Amino acid sequence: MVKGVYVLAIYVNKSLNVKVCAQKNFSLEEGFYAYIGSAQKNLEKRLMRHFTRTNKKCFWHIDRLLAADGVSVVKAFYKEAEKSEECRTAQSLGFAAFPVDVFGCSDCGCRSHLFHFSSLSLLENACLELGFKPIVLPCQ
């Protein structure tokens, strides 16, 4: 079992509002987003969960986003690392993209764990520069 940190490259094909709980609603523009998460027990299982769109209970902000119409994971990256690397990655990506304030970071002090990139290539380059490796998605 691998433990580590991952980045999901997500495409939102239209502007949308995502309600993640009773009091939080996020407005997202069309484009590419990077979501940073971690799995300290079974990285492969967590990623497969994110790649699956049907019959799953929504636990996290990212679950609500990925369940929305017009939203898809287009690439994914990972790094074997401790949980603390999740927040370091979020801080680094904050210099390369626009944060969606307080998305996905209710358990830490980060500004966000979701970032809007102007292009997929910038998102990919940022991940590679931080030492992440690409993952072949199940549908590819």
Reported as a pLDDT band with limits 50, 70 and 90, residue 59 is low
**Run of H or E including 64:** helix 61-67
Contact 105, 112 (CB under 8 A): yes
Contact 46, 37 (CB under 8 A): yes
Query: How high is the pLDDT of residue 140?
Result: 46
Task: Say if residue 126's pLDDT is above 90.
Answer: yes
Q: How confident is the model at residue 58 (pLDDT cuts 50, 70, 90)?
A: low
pTM listed for this prediction: 0.86
Nearest to 84 by CA among 111, 101, 108, 104: 108
The pLDDT confidence band at residue 110, using thresholds 50, 70 and 90, is confident
Could you tell me how many helices (H) and strands (E) the chain has, helices first? 4, 8
| Rounded CA separation 14/89 (Å) | 26
Q: When comparing pLDDT for 129 and 40, which is higher? A: 129
**Dist. CA 139–CA 2, nearest whole Å:** 21
Find the mean pLDDT for residues 67-85: 89
75 confidence band (pLDDT: 50, 70, 90): very high
Q: CA-to-CA distance for 70 and 136, rounded, in angstroms?
A: 21
